[in-house]
């Protein structure tokens, strides 16, 4: 499956539309790259990239250039408007990846937890899922960004 974020054609929306169903109410991904959720996720104001759905399909994370990690959540009334991910208040970073079991979120860089100095490499961190959200960052490796994982948990 392939999801592609790019610039949207129409970002003049003044009201967030009601979205329901999987994939923010969008057409499921196929083999042909397409703009994902134009005007909702993909915009002409910023670059959006590094998208990740939780395994249950109820949370959707993506990076928005100049803002950071954004999240939309599925509730009984539909999908929420994209908002800055709550963990961004405490832990800065980007390029998220949700591991297949949904209990770990991988992300690059964490200024605030580990201040990067000039010339220091980007690094990969893991956040653990708790009852209150994502917390307890763990440093994994320097010199990395945009981590992914296999079904058996190999990063």
pLDDT of residue 116: 54
pLDDT of residue 3: 42
Ranges of each domain in the chain: 1-84, 86-155
Q: HEC states along the chain?
A: CCCECCCCCCCCCCCCCCCCCCHHHCCCCCCCCCECCECCCECCCCCEEEEEECCCCCEEEEEECCCEEEEEEEECCEECCCEECHHHHCCCCEEEEECCCCCEEEEECCCCCCCCCCCCCCEEEEEEEECCEEEEEEEEEECCCCCCCCCCCCC
CB 26 within 8 A of CB 122: no
17-35, pLDDT tens digit by residue? 888 889 999 988 899 998 9
pTM confidence score: 0.80
* Intervals of the chain under pLDDT 50: 1-13, 112-114
d(CA 97, CA 129): 13
115-120: long-range contacts, CB 8 A cutoff, minimum separation 24: none
């Amino acid at each position: 499956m392939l999801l592609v974020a790019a610039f949207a054609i129409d970002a003049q929306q003044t009201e967030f539309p009601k979205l329901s169903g999987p994939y923010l109410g969008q057409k499921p991904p196929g083999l042909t790259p397409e703009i994902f959720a134009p005007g909702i996720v993909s915009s002409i104001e910023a670059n959006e990239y590094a998208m990740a759905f939780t395994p249950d399909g109820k949370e959707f994370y993506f990076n928005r250039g100049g803002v950071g990690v954004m999240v939309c959540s599925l509730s009984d009334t539909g999908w929420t408007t994209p908002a800055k991910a709550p963990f961004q208040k405490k832990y800065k970073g980007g390029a998220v990846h949700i591991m297949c079991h949904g209990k770990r979120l991988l992300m690059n860089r964490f200024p605030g937890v580990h201040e990067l100095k000039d010339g220091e490499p980007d690094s990969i961190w893991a956040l653990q899922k708790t009852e209150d959200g994502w917390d307890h960052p763990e440093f994994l490796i320097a010199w990395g960004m945009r981590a992914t994982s296999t079904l058996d948990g190999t990063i």
